[in-house]
Amino acid sequence: MPVKLRLARHGRKKFAFYHIVAADGRAPRDGKFIEKLGIYNPNTNPATIELDFDKSLNWLEKGAQPTETVRAILSYRGVLMKRHLMIGVRKGAFSEEEAEKRFAAWMKEKEAKIQAKKDGLDKAIEEDIRQRLEAESKISEDRAAEILKKRSELAEEADKEALAIVDEDVAETAEADEATIEETPAEEPAAKAEAVESKEAEKPAEEPVAEEPVAEEPAAKAEAVESKEAEKPAEEPVAEEPVAEEPAAKAEAVESKEAEKPAEEPVAEEPVAEEPAAKAEAVESKEEEKPAGKESEGKKTDQAKDAGKKAEKQAKEEPKD
């Protein structure tokens, strides 16, 4: 059996990597091998390949048969391209220098492709990271917006509760004010009526003393003076009456009065006629002055009334005699 270039499995479950070996075709996969040529790890992107280029090319030239996976690995690393050029040099198609130039150009192109793939993968990783960051930032913003919304709703609810409490307090105060207003009208009229009655009761004692006597004092005094002057002649006979006189003396006095009547009647009649009016005016003026609370003035008015009554009696009795 010819020698085979194949993979020998290593690693743990679901994370295997392989050794590239040259082994007898009759040997088991993970059994005895002739030579180790490299390592193949498909768990990375791109896959990690470590290969001994010269040993692999030597085994191919000796007639070793690679498996499909190992052939793809050798083609990827340029071992098969180098073997194809060496066959052309042996046939005389081109020189060895030309073969080296062609192989160098092919390897440069191959490395550029590999590097482009790596760059693309790096960019894809960066883009994936950026998208994840954006998604996370968006999620965080959404969460912050939700939190802010909830807080604003809680704040609005708290404000509403506070406003409701304030409205309740205002309503309670308004109800209390209305209750007091409804209760006060029933009490105020009675209080006002009592105050008015007390003021009216106090007015006669205060107002006449302050105002009316001031305006009427001169006239009242003048009338009192005139009444007193008019009463003087009438008081003379009153003063004489109490004297105990004899009947003869009285008769003589009556006769002397009758003899003197023609000359004295006009003078005697005027004070008699004027006395009641003057006395009445004096009485009225004194009655007006009574509210001031002067007892002496009341007594004077009583005396004036008595004097007036006596004068009237005398005036009525004189014509009879």
Poorest-confidence range of 23-32, 69-78, 257-266, 302-311? 257-266
Confidence of residue 222 (pLDDT cuts 50, 70, 90): low
State how far the alpha carbon of 246 is from the alpha carbons of 243, 279, 313, in Å: 10, 32, 21
Give the count of beta carbons closer than 10 Å to the beta carbon of residue 49: 16
CB 40 within 8 A of CB 73: yes
Q: What is the DSSP code (8-state) at residue 50?
A: E
- pTM here is 0.44
Q: What is the pLDDT of residue 112?
A: 92
Q: What is the pLDDT of residue 240?
A: 46
Distance (Å, rounded) from C-alpha 105 to C-alpha 170?
A: 95
End-to-end CA distance of the chain: 205
Q: What is the mean pLDDT of residues 209-222?
A: 49
CB 285 within 8 A of CB 220: yes
What is the DSSP code string of 251-311?
HHHHHHHHHHHHHHHHHHHHHHHHHHHHHHHHHHHHHHHGGGT-HHHHHHHHHHHHHHHHH
Distance (Å, rounded) from C-alpha 53 to C-alpha 78?
A: 9
Confidence of residue 234 (pLDDT cuts 50, 70, 90): very low
Poorest-confidence range of 142-146, 153-157, 309-313? 309-313
Q: What is the number of alpha carbons within 13 Å of residue 40 lying toward its C-beta?
A: 20
Residues 6+ apart with CB under 8 A from 1: 24, 25, 26
Residue with tokens 């609005």: 156
In whole angstroms, what separates CA 309 from the centre of its chain?
A: 88
Which is more confident, 2 or 3?
3
CB 275 within 8 A of CB 308: yes
Q: Left, alpha or beta for 65 (phi > 0: left; psi -120 to 50: alpha)?
A: beta
What is the DSSP code string of 185-217?
HHHHHHHHHHHHHHHHHHHHHHHHHHTHHHHHH
Angle CA 98–101–107, to nearest 5: 140
Domain boundary assignment for the chain? 3-93, 124-210, 217-320
Q: Which fold has domain 3-93?
A: S16 Ribosomal Protein; Chain: A; (3.30.1320)
Distance (Å, rounded) from C-alpha 208 to C-alpha 155?
A: 73
Residue-wise pLDDT tens digits, 148-206: 999 998 998 888 888 888 888 888 888 887 777 766 554 555 556 676 677 666 665 44
